[in-house]
Amino acid sequence: MRLVIARCQVDYAGRLTAHLPMATRLIMVKNDGSVLVHSDGGSYKPLNWMSPPAKLREGVAEDGRVEWTVHGKDGPDGDTLRILIDEVLSDTTHDLGVDPGLQKDGVEKHLQELLAEHPSTIAEGLTLVRREYPTAIGPVDLMCRDSVSASVAVEIKRKATIESVEQLTRYLELLNRDPRLKPVRGILAAQSIVPQARTLAEDRGIACAVVDYDALRGLDSPEDRLF
């Protein structure tokens, strides 16, 4: 990853146009080809960016200043991000290595374990096929079958957001390409689901299930176990 702190002007042209006047900002160039421009505020969200795959070309503007031109997946005919650099304050490159991916926290991991043991609490007639069912973009939390033996992919969250719906949508697109599984429908199971996520899920034919973690823990009584 390359991190550049510089006084720069940023112009984006494509489906819309956007202009950031000259100011000191952080420019991140990631190994996947994405380029992100951050200010010292606004939490994690960049001011502007180009998603991968993107191609960065470093050149010189007419006035002699350094100018970066970033093209998106459609090349020069598509979206373009131009960064005019007035002064570079810092320019460093770091090898972050292979990222192990996001690890579920203790509650979410335990919630998945409990729902795997009691899938019918998500929807009546649901039975487990496999936990962490693999896909090319990551594992689906639970792969199940319903009462008529149709495939059901379940994504489990503590709090489900729009991104949770997008994640499950991507899984469903891949799973429905497999003739052994299709048709595959989705269920988003969470302790809480924000209204926007529920609306988007219902629009895409994804069912929502609110689960009670404490009630599920009650089903996992130590007295009912042999070990």
Q: Is the pLDDT of residue 102 over 60?
A: no
Pairwise CA distance, residues 25 & 132, whole Å: 40
CATH number of 2-93: 2.70.180.20
CATH number of 106-222: 3.40.1350.10
Q: Residue 74: pLDDT band by 50, 70, 90 thresholds?
A: confident
Fold: same for 2-93 and 106-222: no
pLDDT of residue 105: 52
Our CA dihedral for 142, 146, 149, 152, rounded to 10 degrees, sits at: -40
Q: Residue 15: pLDDT band by 50, 70, 90 thresholds?
A: confident
Q: Are 28 and 38 in contact (CB under 8 A)?
A: yes
Q: Is the pLDDT of residue 107 over 80?
A: no
Distance in Å from the first CA to the final CA of the chain: 48
Least confident stretch, 4-8, 49-53, 160-164, 220-224 = 220-224
Q: Where are the domains of the chain?
A: 2-93, 106-222
Under DSSP, the state recorded for 139 is -
Q: Are 83 and 70 in contact (CB under 8 A)?
A: yes
116-174 per-position pLDDT tens digit = 999 999 999 999 999 999 988 889 999 999 999 999 999 999 899 999 999 999 999 99
Pairwise CA distance, residues 80 & 166, whole Å: 25
